[in-house]
């Protein structure tokens, strides 16, 4: 007999496929969030492909399977998958941008820290690089004895939308994410690319701490914050998703044109 958890895992796996499409000269790497899958970015990817961009949305190790498998992975493995996807996109495109949702926003920042001029700009949607929740202080000990806790999944205001993420938060993996956050925060000053950041006023997963730290820590001359008033955490599937899609496409187009002008000068 199939349990409810097994049925949920099977449904997640059905919606976990990486996304690759488009044939444009400008590439966009989109990074999904912790316990999520590329499904949460599917409509964004389709919009950008329709706008003429080449788009890649990889699946991170341990995601799209079971939360138990995610507990057996490290943040370095997730980041290595992002680097591989970026390298493959760079082989196909002269100009590359990176976008990310939640932990994927943090992943985008770390790529910018490490890859420098290979990335022309970032679009961050409710990026996560910190939480002010003091319970994280006990996570190193708690994760040794408690495998998982109930997750805040599907934080979407729009009825009927489902991101197909894990229904439980694996604590060893969450500890890995916090360690990645420390690494990202310690190198924020390396980020000098233009940034377009979307932040939901009502986000039940990530508090405003991350957005503040990003704005204060990066060296970028251009950091634009857009506040979303009708969307929750998974804003790429929420009421203002079309605004994110259209404004990001305009951002990519504007900065890819500047990159081309600089090369011709």
Q: Active-site residues: which are they?
A: 102, 203, 233
Encoded tokens for 101: 């949702």
For residue 260, the tally of other CB atoms under 10 A from its CB is 14
Please work out, in degrees rounded to the nearest 5, the angle formed at the alpha carbon of residue 150 by the alpha carbons of 163 and 233: 40
User: What is the per-residue burial (b if ≥16 Cβ within 10 Å, else e) of 175-207?
Assistant: bbbbebbeebbeebebbebbbbbbbbeebebbe
- What is d(CA 255, CA 263) in angstroms, rounded to the nearest whole number? 12
Q: How many residues does the chain have?
A: 265
- What is d(CA 215, CA 177) in angstroms, rounded to the nearest whole number? 20
- DSSP codes joined into one string, 167-201: SEEEHHHHHHHHHHHHHHHTTGGG--S-EEEEEES
């Amino acid at each position: 007999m199939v349990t409810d958890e097994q049925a949920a895992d099977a449904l997640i796996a059905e919606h976990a496929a990486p996304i690759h499409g488009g044939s444009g000269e400008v590439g966009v790497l989109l990074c999904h969030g912790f316990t999520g899958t590329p499904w949460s970015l599917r409509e964004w990817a389709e919009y950008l492909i329709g706008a003429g961009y080449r788009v890649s949305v990889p699946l991170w190790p341990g995601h799209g399977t079971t939360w138990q498998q995610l507990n057996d992975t490290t943040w370095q493995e997730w980041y290595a998958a992002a680097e591989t996807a970026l390298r493959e996109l760079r082989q196909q495109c002269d100009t590359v941008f990176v976008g990310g949702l939640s932990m994927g926003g943090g992943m985008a920042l770390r790529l910018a820290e490490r890859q420098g001029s290979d990335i022309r700009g970032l679009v961050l949607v409710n990026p996560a690089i910190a939480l002010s929740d003091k319970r994280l202080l006990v996570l190193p000990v708690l994760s040794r004895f408690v495998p998982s806790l109930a997750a805040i999944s599907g934080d979407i205001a729009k009825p009927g939308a489902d991101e197909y993420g894990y229904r439980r938060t694996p604590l060893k993996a969450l500890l890995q994410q916090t360690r990645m956050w420390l690494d990202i925060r310690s190198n924020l000053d390396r980020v000098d690319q233009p940034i377009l950041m979307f932040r939901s006023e009502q986000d039940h997963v990530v508090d405003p701490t991350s957005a503040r730290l990003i704005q204060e820590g990066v060296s970028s001359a251009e950091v634009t914050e857009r506040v979303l008033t009708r969307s929750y955490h998974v804003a790429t599937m929420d009421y203002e998703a079309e605004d994110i899609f259209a404004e990001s496409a305009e951002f990519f187009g504007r900065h890819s044109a500047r990159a081309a002008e600089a090369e011709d000068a």
